[in-house]
Structure 1
Amino acid sequence: MTAAADVSRVAQPQLATLRLIGTGCIALGVFLSGFVIDEPAPYELWLALLIGVWFVLGLKISRSVAPLLVLFVTFNVGGMLSLTQMRDLADGPIYSAVSTFLALSAVFYAAIIGDNEKRLTLIFNAWVIAAIITASLGILGYFHAFPGAEAFTRYDRAMGVFQDPNVFGPYLVAPALFLLHGSLIGNFRKAPLRAAGLAILLFGIFLSFSRAAWALFAFSAIALVFFMLLKHRSNAFRLRIMALSLAAVILAFVGLIVALQFHQVSDLFSTRTQLVQDYDGGHLGRFERHRLGFMLSMERPLGIGPLVFSTLFREDEHNIWLKSLTTYGWLGFFCWVSVIVWTIYIGFRNVLKDRPWQPFLLVAWITILGHVGIGNVIDTDHWRHLYMLIGIVWGCGALEHRRSARLRAGA
């Protein structure tokens, strides 16, 4: 036996051990995504280190993930070019650095999932745990359950360990869908535990008083049930899904009635359910800012720079398409639209295929569709969980590509 063979025998177990530790570190990274109070957050710092270590250990970008890397790098080149349009850089470079990191995080998730499908379970389980903890803190904060609990609220709305209730609410949707999916088709013995977790997440979404989060969950839950009924051909199984879905709706309605018995809940609920708020219409309201912003963007191909829009029009863009134009220029806008369209296409092609990763793809893809909708009234370019969802869909696409290649090689 040669010396090289001896080294190989030693190196392989060591490398496997390192990758196992790295997988545990991924779970920690996903867990930290639920605790974002400021930028850069611990999530960024931890994942930046993790991405570097993983690529040193040999993680590769497959051909099916490479287009995502190219598009996101170009997207952020547009963002860097927009910095040249700023008179005062202020926080612009930090904003661009976070944007670049988040883009790379999507590529990282796609690569590690394409490398090993079992990491999907790890990612979603860590996400569920983080979501339940941050939702619980938001709920306790809303009801001032302990001294200092108001730190987990803003404007009398639950926000957990986030900067904004409008990010906190949507963050909880994907893990809520994952638990809902497991409750509908999983083992009945685990149903009470899943139902308890789902109840906490739904209450957290409700108390965020984010209309975007409410609409996102309602759309996503209906779409999830629809695609599950479409995929499963057994009438008995379809009846089970419909019966459990109806039971979930009834329980949610009962929970809503109970919550509305609290005056602080019912008053804010009646205000937030108005379709158009004071800050939506009127002079320089949300919708007028959208119109003026798009007109301005047609004259500024390189954009106007990060965080500049609010200095011109009192508030941020609150529209991801406009945000991509103002902050990343025409180049960034083209790349963002391309990423979203390509991601939707990958999911559409594979979402009904009978694969071990199909439930994860279904949850991620549906949630992204919902984010595309709410992106018309809110900025999502720095939502960490959105990049994670994009990475999950592309990672599942990479798994499908690898499976097809194996089948062709075996033919």
Structure 2
Amino acid sequence: MNMTLTTSEARMPYQKMLPLVFATSFFVFVEPAPFDLLACLLMVFAFFPYLKSSNIPLKSFTVWSVIFTLLQILTLPPSIDVGQGIKYLAITVYLNVFGLLLAAYIGRFGTKVIDCIMWGMYAGAAITAVVLLTTKVGVTGGLADIVLANDYTRMRGFFKDPNVFGPALIPVFIYGWMSFQQKSSYRMIHMTMALVAAILIILTLSRGAWVTFLGAAVLYYGLTLWSSNIRKFFSSMIMVTIGTVLMIPLMWAALDAADVKEIFEDRLTLQSYDEERFYIHHMLAEASLDNAYGHGPGQSNVHIRTYYTNVKEADAAHNTYLRVAFEQGWLGILAYMIFVIATAWVGLKACLNKNAVTPYAIMSLSIFAASVVSGLTVDTLHWRHFWIEVAFIWGIYALSFRQKSE
């Protein structure tokens, strides 16, 4: 079945560049990452021309982007560290604009854009998996300081933090699962990548990634069950289950078997830094209530380092919503929550439209909703894959809106 719904038969420009660019999204241990430089080129030459012909949904996205940016600019003057504020503002604007322009591109050329992106992410995830495996067995031991966390038990790939690497793999898992169910070409590749992603998520030993992964999988399962042929769905689930069981030995071998139980038991208990994180959450919430106008973009980390000197391990907000409330004030958190709710709403509306793009809408909403929940324990505003998920939802909705109006 052809799963791609496009608005015209026009050739998609820069199609071959998309997989390459998004493969680099798994190599972000330096800033700016190669992905950021390539993404800027895509925005200028490939994505931007299609924003001019965007429809009502993307115009709404544009208006929100302008408002949120203005709110950040207005909070710059009281910043403790203006340089940090400008840097943080620039990154937020870049990711926001990237999400908007990618959504416009998807709205114009359909889900084949998502397919190209996900095949690129497949490549990035596969390369990372090979490097992690060879590092664990000692072949590429020189990369251990890069791809393994400080204790050498948690995998972070070419990310700075296992708590970011894990959630970045969730789109790979859900897309692989979706494509396998749809009996598309290369079914075994899709199933293999889904299983590889699942194993790597587990091996990050990130509790946040585990919860996000479970939430995305359950939501995807429920939405798909609701919208699909039940017999076909359960037959594919049986195949995925069998494949998972067969892949367990590989996951087991990736860790020292003697330490597996101890490692997982340790990760499932409260860590020394958890109490500090709860303390920071409490203090940022109080500070947000005391200052309705905000302390400035990027200032939460500065505030923590300056005033909470008793904190030793937790040096960031680790909560997207408290961070936005603290930095952009009451209007900022209101604007952000409106955007999150609106994104979830348009994603749900796209899921309700029973057509060829419904599986893509379900996939996008599932991973986005999981990231929204993940925002309670980690800062997601500067996650590249978070804005990719946002772009998927708004792009699919814009595509559906365009189809209805034509």
Please tell me the TM-score bracket, short chain as reference: 0.7 to 0.9
* Larger CA deviation: 139-148 vs 345-354: 139-148
Q: 1:295 Cα deviation (Å)?
A: 0.8
- What secondary structure does 1:298 align onto? helix
* Amino acid in structure 2 at the alignment position of 1:163: K
Q: Which one of the candidate residues 87, 96, 99 is aligned to 2:80? A: 87
The match for 2:294 is 303
Judged with a 3 Å threshold, the aligned counterparts in structure 2 of structure 1 residues 106 and 58 are, in CA distance, closer, same or farther, namely closer
Q: After superposition, what is the alpha-carbon deviation per residue over 1:306-347, rounded to whole angstroms, capped at 9, x for unaligned?
A: 132331334211111001112333232122111110011011
Judged with a 3 Å threshold, the aligned counterparts in structure 2 of structure 1 residues 76 and 139 are, in CA distance, closer, same or farther, namely farther
Aligned length: 383
* Larger CA deviation: 260-269 vs 161-170: 260-269
Asked if the contact 1:225–1:241 (Cα under 8 Å) also holds between the matched residues in 2, the reply is: no
Identical pairs, percent: 25
- What secondary structure does 1:356 align onto? coil
Asked if the contact 1:79–1:329 (Cα under 8 Å) also holds between the matched residues in 2, the reply is: no
The match for 1:318 is 318
Give me the whole-angstrom Cα distance separating, in 1, the residues matched to 2:132 and 2:72.
33
Counterpart mapping for 1:279-294 below 5 A = 279-281=273-275, 285-294=276-285
Give me the whole-angstrom Cα distance separating, in 2, the residues matched to 1:261 and 1:55.
46
Q: Which runs of 5+ in 1 are unaligned?
A: 1-15, 407-411
Structure of greater Rg? 1
Q: Are residue 115 (structure 1) and residue 82 (structure 2) matched?
A: no
Asked if the contact 2:163–2:206 (Cα under 8 Å) also holds between the matched residues in 1, the reply is: yes
Q: Are residue 175 (structure 1) and residue 172 (structure 2) matched?
A: yes
* Amino acid in structure 2 at the alignment position of 1:181: M
Judged with a 3 Å threshold, the aligned counterparts in structure 2 of structure 1 residues 318 and 70 are, in CA distance, closer, same or farther, namely same
- What secondary structure does 2:27 align onto? coil
Q: 1:217 Cα deviation (Å)?
A: 1.4
Q: Are residue 44 (structure 1) and residue 36 (structure 2) matched?
A: yes
Asked if the contact 1:183–1:195 (Cα under 8 Å) also holds between the matched residues in 2, the reply is: yes
Judged with a 3 Å threshold, the aligned counterparts in structure 2 of structure 1 residues 186 and 309 are, in CA distance, closer, same or farther, namely farther
Give me the whole-angstrom Cα distance separating, in 2, the residues matched to 1:125 and 1:216.
22
Q: 1:164 Cα deviation (Å)?
A: 1.1
TM-score of the aligned structures, taking structure 2 as reference length: 0.86
Q: Which one of the candidate residues 168, 180, 185 is aligned to 2:182? A: 185
* Larger CA deviation: 299-308 vs 361-370: 299-308
Asked if the contact 1:152–1:158 (Cα under 8 Å) also holds between the matched residues in 2, the reply is: yes
Give me the whole-angstrom Cα distance separating, in 1, the residues matched to 2:139 and 2:76.
44
Judged with a 3 Å threshold, the aligned counterparts in structure 2 of structure 1 residues 191 and 49 are, in CA distance, closer, same or farther, namely closer
Give me the whole-angstrom Cα distance separating, in 1, the residues matched to 2:189 and 2:50.
38
Q: Are residue 29 (structure 1) and residue 50 (structure 2) matched?
A: no
Asked if the contact 1:137–1:161 (Cα under 8 Å) also holds between the matched residues in 2, the reply is: no
The match for 2:46 is 54
Give me the whole-angstrom Cα distance separating, in 2, the residues matched to 1:309 and 1:252.
45
The match for 2:57 is 64
Asked if the contact 1:154–1:165 (Cα under 8 Å) also holds between the matched residues in 2, the reply is: yes
Q: 1:355 Cα deviation (Å)?
A: 2.3
Q: 1:82 Cα deviation (Å)?
A: 2.9
Counterpart mapping for 1:371-382 below 5 A = 371-382=371-382
Give me the whole-angstrom Cα distance separating, in 1, the residues matched to 2:139 and 2:217.
30
* Amino acid in structure 1 at the alignment position of 2:55: S
Asked if the contact 1:309–1:317 (Cα under 8 Å) also holds between the matched residues in 2, the reply is: no
Give me the whole-angstrom Cα distance separating, in 2, the residues matched to 1:403 and 1:291.
47
TM-score of the aligned structures, taking structure 1 as reference length: 0.85
Judged with a 3 Å threshold, the aligned counterparts in structure 2 of structure 1 residues 190 and 98 are, in CA distance, closer, same or farther, namely same
* Amino acid in structure 2 at the alignment position of 1:63: I
Judged with a 3 Å threshold, the aligned counterparts in structure 2 of structure 1 residues 265 and 90 are, in CA distance, closer, same or farther, namely farther
The match for 2:149 is 154
* Amino acid in structure 2 at the alignment position of 1:365: L
Q: 1:50 Cα deviation (Å)?
A: 2.1
* Larger CA deviation: 204-213 vs 190-199: 190-199
The match for 1:11 is none
Give me the whole-angstrom Cα distance separating, in 2, the residues matched to 1:56 and 1:226.
36
Give me the whole-angstrom Cα distance separating, in 1, the residues matched to 2:232 and 2:355.
18
Judged with a 3 Å threshold, the aligned counterparts in structure 2 of structure 1 residues 225 and 87 are, in CA distance, closer, same or farther, namely closer
Q: 1:389 Cα deviation (Å)?
A: 0.4
Judged with a 3 Å threshold, the aligned counterparts in structure 2 of structure 1 residues 40 and 79 are, in CA distance, closer, same or farther, namely farther
Give me the whole-angstrom Cα distance separating, in 2, the residues matched to 1:143 and 1:78.
50
Q: 1:44 Cα deviation (Å)?
A: 1.9
Q: Are residue 237 (structure 1) and residue 228 (structure 2) matched?
A: no
Give me the whole-angstrom Cα distance separating, in 1, the residues matched to 2:77 and 2:129.
40
Judged with a 3 Å threshold, the aligned counterparts in structure 2 of structure 1 residues 128 and 59 are, in CA distance, closer, same or farther, namely same
